[in-house]
Structure 1
Amino acid sequence: MGRPGVVFLLVLFTVLTHQGTSLPSRSRKAAPARLTDEDDLKTQISKLWLEVNSLKEMQALQTVCLRGVKAHRKCYLAMEEPKHYHEANEDCIAQGGTLAIPRDLQENSELRDYARRTAPGWREFWIGVTDMVTEGQYVDVNSAPVSFFHWDRAKKQPTGGKRESCVALSLTAQGRWHDQVCRALKKYVCEYLIP
Structure 2
Amino acid sequence: MEKMYANVSAETVKVLHDPNIETQDVTSSGMAGRQQFAKSNHLKGAVVCLGLLCALLLAGITGLCVDYNRVAGDFEEEQTKLLTETDQLKGEIDNLQKKLLFMEHHFKMGWRHFGSSFYLFSTVEKTWEQSKQDCVRSGADLVIIDSREEQNFINGFNGMFWIGLSDIETEGSWKWVDGTPLTIEYWKRGEPNSFGGEEDCAERMLIYSNIEQSWNDAPCGQLKLGICEKVAYP
> What is the alpha-carbon distance in structure 1 between the residues aligned to residue 140 and residue 187 of structure 2?
24
Aligned partner of residue 179 in structure 1, secondary structure: strand
Deviation at 1:185, TM superposition (A): 0.3
Question: What amino acid is aligned across from residue 188 of structure 1 in structure 2?
Answer: G
- Alignment correspondent of 1:38: none
Q: 1:59 to 1:178 in 2, by over 3 A?
A: same
- 1:145-165 alpha-carbon deviations (Å, 9 max, x no partner): 121110011xx1001164100
Deviation at 1:58, TM superposition (A): 7.0
- Alignment correspondent of 1:130: 166
Aligned partner of residue 151 in structure 2, secondary structure: helix
Mind listing any 5+ residue stretches in structure 2 that lack a counterpart? 1-93
Whether the 8 Å contact between 1:82 and 1:185 is mirrored in structure 2 is yes
> What is the alpha-carbon distance in structure 2 between the residues aligned to residue 77 and residue 171 of structure 1?
17
Whether the 8 Å contact between 1:157 and 1:179 is mirrored in structure 2 is yes
1:97-108 equivalences in 2 (<5 Å): 97-108=140-151
Higher strand share: 1
Figure out how many residues of one structure are paired with residues of the other and give that number.
134
Deviation at 1:172, TM superposition (A): 3.3
- 1:40-87 alpha-carbon deviations (Å, 9 max, x no partner): xxxxxxxxxxx99x94x8744542245232111011111111100000
What fraction of aligned residue pairs are identical, expressed as a percent?
24
Give TM-score scaled by structure 2 length.
0.52
- Alignment correspondent of 1:119: none
Deviation at 1:171, TM superposition (A): 1.1
Whether the 8 Å contact between 1:64 and 1:77 is mirrored in structure 2 is no
Aligned pair 1:177/2:188, yes or no? no
> What is the alpha-carbon distance in structure 1 between the residues aligned to residue 175 and residue 107 of structure 2?
26
1:72-87 equivalences in 2 (<5 Å): 72-87=115-130
> What is the alpha-carbon distance in structure 1 between the residues aligned to residue 129 and residue 103 of structure 2?
23
Higher helix share: 2
Mind listing any 5+ residue stretches in structure 1 that lack a counterpart? 1-50, 117-121
Q: 1:183 to 1:170 in 2, by over 3 A?
A: same
Give TM-score scaled by structure 1 length.
0.62
> What is the alpha-carbon distance in structure 2 between the residues aligned to residue 87 and residue 130 of structure 1?
14
- Alignment correspondent of 2:139: 96
Whether the 8 Å contact between 1:92 and 1:190 is mirrored in structure 2 is yes
> What is the alpha-carbon distance in structure 2 between the residues aligned to residue 86 and residue 61 of structure 1?
27
